[in-house]
A and B are shown apart, each in its own frame.
Chain A
Amino acid sequence: MREVIRALLVSLWFVFLTFPILVIKVDTINDIIVWRWMNSLYIGLGVLLLQGIWHAWRHLRTLRKEDRERDTIAWIVLVCLPVLWLAWVATRNTQKPLHPADRVLMLLVAPLWLVDYLRSPAKREPQWHDWPCMILFPPSLLVRGYFALFRKGGEKVSIPGVEQPSLMQVMLENQKAMRPLYLLILILAACYPQMVEFYQTNIMVNFMIWIVLGLGLNIVIGLAGLLDLGFVAFYAVGAYAYALLNHHFGLSFWYVLPIGMVLGAVCGLLLGYPVLRLRGDYLAIVTLGFGEIIRLVLENWSSFTHGPSGISNIDRPPFVTDLSIMQATEYMYYIMLGLLLLTIFVVTRLKNSRIGRAWLALKEDEIACQAMGIDKTKTKLAAFALGATWAGLVGVVFAAKTTFINPMSFTLMESIIILSIVVVGGMGSIPGVITGALVLILVPEWLRGVEEYRMLAFGAFMVMVMVFRPQGLVSARRKVYQYDKAKAVSAHE
């Protein structure tokens, strides 16, 4: 009973809270005031419902505390609810504009990517080739089943006393089981443009660009622990390097690709050097400032950068024959896939190397690190430079792909999104970054159908992920060093 009263009070609180903004709509231009009392009702009921779900969830949690895996519930919430909702939507006539009641529900359920699929195409029948991308990405059930098979096969590194590794961790640590899956993903990725529409290929290229950006920032922030809010600056440097070199000197994509990387790295060093002394959030604001400075220069230095009107007609990567836009995008897709694999490879190697360890240690305790003989300056600069390299690289790709760039693409919001990709996905984890980009770039893109509520849901989703999985969707996994005495002895000799 007390629970019910509490729930009612909470609902009332929200009714109160949303009263001026949701209920009264003033139009000071015409002095019109519209009262929308129904909104209060929706909010009240919506919040009640939410609390109901919340309590149910809590109840479930306590029911099977011992043998429960937290992920199960998380996946239920993330997968089943949207599916239920979807069923509900599917039974309605979706042509009509959204009913306010829908809106409340929209607030509640964020990952609605399937909605788009059912709603948007005017009259397209579902076709078989739409499925691979669906099967590929919402992995819950399939992956579960798959790993149920492999559970025992792979050796599970369990550290006594550490929290039970989550499903994702088990999954990722289970290398043996992962290998065929990786292969499958790779094959699917290679075939992907052949199976789907132009649009899907196009957004996949963007998706991969964001992954690489995320991986780059992941070096700086996830590995070395340096909070960088101006990462997009390096991206801009790469993009403008290609745009300008191409525009003025006609240099081709392939020449500028390494130039972009080097420029990115150099800028990383330039930024890194003066700010090394700063810690934590001070670093954040300075990097934010740096990002803004770069953007402002791009905007204001018209004679050099063409200012806000940007640079158009940038060449796409050359190919033996002329390509149509679709083919060029497909070509771009494969180039980007290659670069992505390269990035993953290099970042993995770095992470598990001497310098990767130094970064991690630096993140945890700078003073102890120095006392152990690690050169703070060099190590941090290396992180800045190596992170920026990738941003410079994909900057070039970006310019070549859109064929037009202007400073609009390099605002603070972009930096924030990259940061969110890293943190939402799980700091320091490569699959994490991919997951982060998936939920923050690809899913909103797929959600285009629900236009108006997209950003609202996006914000709510970010909050929800953090509240329910503060460490990110995929926790970082670290190489476990095994000591093999026999081998070591021979290595010594």
Chain B
Amino acid sequence: MNKPALDVRGLCMDFGGLRALNKVDLEVRQGEIAALIGPNGAGKTTFFNCITGIYAPTEGDIHVLPDGENRVRINGRKPNHVTELGMARTFQNIRLFPSMTVLENVMIGRHCRNRSSILGAVLRDGHTRRQEDEVISRSYEMLELVGLERWANELATNLPYGAQRRLEIARAMATEPFLLLLDEPAAGMNPQETRRLKDLIDHIRETYHIAVLLIEHDMKMVMSVSDRIYVMDYGQRIAAGSPEEVSKNPEVIKAYLGEDADD
């Protein structure tokens, strides 16, 4: 339970003259739900982008430990390698494949867990067919997980906003990650929908025993779902700890939460 899954040390990221991340250390343990919070522009999304290979960090080490034992350094790896290793993410601004169906979106997530060749695709031999069936059934399972199965053949773009967020989660889950990175999953959801999302995250952790790293501005959700919270401001980590600790931390209150923390 407390073997590490992600270990980031001294991560820095510069954009021209702007230092968006400054020596950030962060650790996520197997099976835990961690949250990353901080004011707007603190560098949270940039952190995600760095560890998933979309940006190449300027400095620092990123290690993942898929099984909790073997450390793999992933600096400079391509995003698809990172995903293959078992880290999957969602995006702050939704990035679905809008004119593919919901089911197909999830099937894309299965791509990297599959090895059927071009020749196989043409000949459609037994192996390929079995794999295709497996892709469909697993994808469908993911849709059931997030409760979108009845939309399976709908185009992704036609889903309401909240459903699109859940679809992103399903798609990420289809890659069989050991660590799931969620960037503001509750944005644009009303309180009730947010609560259902929280239940979903809990459920995912329970069923698949995977770790979750979450960026979120909805404090009610963050406080209730996470085991551990990291707080960033101006690219720096300013606090870390359990929800109680963080919400009492004066620096965090000043920079982020404001006076009456729980609205």
Residues of A within 8 A of B (CB): 157, 159-162, 346, 349-350, 353-358, 360-361, 364-365, 367-376, 382, 386, 478, 480-481, 483, 485, 487-489, 491-492
Contacts and interface: CB of A to CB of B under 8 A. Distances in A.
Interface string B101-141: 10110011101111010101110100010111111110010
B135 A354 contact: yes
The 9 closest A-B pairs by CB, nearest first: A373-B112, A353-B121, A488-B137, A373-B83, A370-B79, A368-B95, A364-B97, A483-B140, A491-B133
B193 interface: no
B111 A365 contact: no
Contact of B108 (A160, A372, A487): A372
B122 A346 contact: yes
B89 interface: yes
A376 B54 CA distance: 13
Contact of A487 (B91, B133, B172): B133
Interface stretch (B14-22, B153-161, B231-239): B153-161
Interface in B27-57: 52-54
B125 to A, nearest CB: 11
Interface residues of B, number: 51
Contact of B107 (A161, A375, A481): A481
A368 to B, nearest CB: 4
B80 A374 contact: yes
B121 A161 contact: no
Contacts, number: 140
Most chain A CB neighbours (cut-off 10 Å) among B79, B84, B91, B112 = B79
Contacts of A367: 54, 79, 95
B144 to A, nearest CB: 10
B223 interface: no
B94 to A, nearest CB: 9
B76 to A, nearest CB: 14
B68 to A, nearest CB: 21
A371 B89 CA distance: 7
A471 B140 CA distance: 30
B85 to A, nearest CB: 9
Most chain A CB neighbours (cut-off 10 Å) among B89, B108, B128 = B108
A370 B112 contact: no
B153 A349 contact: no
A371 B112 contact: no
A483 B101 contact: no
14 contacts: A349-B124, A350-B122, A353-B116, A354-B111, A357-B104, A361-B104, A365-B95, A368-B91, A370-B83, A371-B52, A374-B112, A382-B118, A483-B152, A487-B133
A373 B80 CA distance: 4
Contacts of A368: 91, 95-97
Interface in B42-100: 52-54, 78-80, 83-84, 88-89, 91, 95-100
Nearest to B118: A355
A159 B155 contact: yes
Given A346-B122, A364-B98, A369 B116 contact: no
A89 to B, nearest CB: 43
Contact of B140 (A358, A372, A478, A488): A488
